Amino acid sequence: MIPSQLAEVTRERVLRAAGEVFAERGFRDATVRDICGKAGVNVASVNYYFRNKEALYCEALSFAFEEAEERYPFDCPEGEGVTPAERLRHFIRNFLMRLLDDTHLGWHGKLITREILSPTAALVPIVDSIMKPRFDAVRRIVIQLVPHPLDDDSLERCVLSIFGQCLVYRHARSVIDQMRPQIVAGPEDREATAEHVFRFVLAALTHLPPTPGT
Amino acid sequence: MIPSQLAEVTRERVLRAAGEVFAERGFRDATVRDICGKAGVNVASVNYYFRNKEALYCEALSFAFEEAEERYPFDCPEGEGVTPAERLRHFIRNFLMRLLDDTHLGWHGKLITREILSPTAALVPIVDSIMKPRFDAVRRIVIQLVPHPLDDDSLERCVLSIFGQCLVYRHARSVIDQMRPQIVAGPEDREATAEHVFRFVLAALTHLPPTPGT
DNA sequence: GATGCTATTAAACATTCGTTTGAAACGCAA
DNA sequence: TTGCGTTTCAAACGAATGTTTAATAGCATC
Quick one: three-class SS letters along chain A? Answer: CCCCHHHHHHHHHHHHHHHHHHHHHHHHHCCHHHHHHHHCCCCCHHHHHCCCHHHHHHHHHHHHHHHHHHHCCCCCCCCCCCCHHHHHHHHHHHHHHHHHCCCCCHHHHHHHHHHHHCCCCCHHHHHHHHHHHHHHHHHHHHHHHCCCCCCHHHHHHHHHHHHHHHHHHHHCHHHHHHHCHHHCCCHHHHHHHHHHHHHHHHHHHHCCCCCCCC
User: What does each of the 214 residues of chain A score in pLDDT, given as a tens digit?
Assistant: 455 666 678 999 999 999 999 999 999 999 999 999 999 999 999 999 999 999 999 999 988 888 888 888 776 666 678 899 999 999 999 999 888 877 655 677 788 888 887 888 888 888 888 889 999 999 999 999 999 999 999 999 999 999 999 999 998 988 898 888 888 888 899 999 999 999 999 999 999 999 776 5
Average pLDDT over residues B184-211: 94
Q: How far is the CA of B18 from the C1' of D21 (A)?
A: 40
Q: For position B69, what pLDDT does the model report?
A: 81
What is the C-alpha to C-alpha distance for residues A209 and B7, in angstroms, rounded to an integer?
57
Work out if A48's Cβ lies within 7 angstroms of strand C. yes
pLDDT at B203 > cutoff 60 = yes
A72-206: CATH superfamily: Tetracycline Repressor, domain 2 (1.10.357.10)
Query: Is the pTM higher than 0.85?
Result: yes
* Window 146-175 of B, Cβ < 8 Å to A: 153-154, 156-158, 160-161, 163-169, 171-172, 174-175
* Contact across the interface for B209 and A201, Cβ inside 8 Å: no
What is the C-alpha to C-alpha distance for residues A68 and A168, in angstroms, rounded to an integer?
19
Please count the residue pairs, one from chain A and one from chain B, whose beta carbons lie less than 8 angstroms apart.
154
Work out if B141's Cβ lies within 7 angstroms of strand C. no
- Name the CATH architecture for the domain at A3-60: Orthogonal Bundle (1.10)
pLDDT at B143 > cutoff 90 = yes
Q: For position A1, what pLDDT does the model report?
A: 47
For chain B, what are the domain ranges? 3-60, 72-206
pLDDT band at residue B106, thresholds of 50, 70 and 90?
A: low
Average pLDDT over residues B86-114: 84
Q: For position B164, what pLDDT does the model report?
A: 98
Selected residue with higher pLDDT from B165 and A213: B165
* Contact across the interface for A165 and B160, Cβ inside 8 Å: yes
Work out if A64's Cβ lies within 7 angstroms of strand C. no
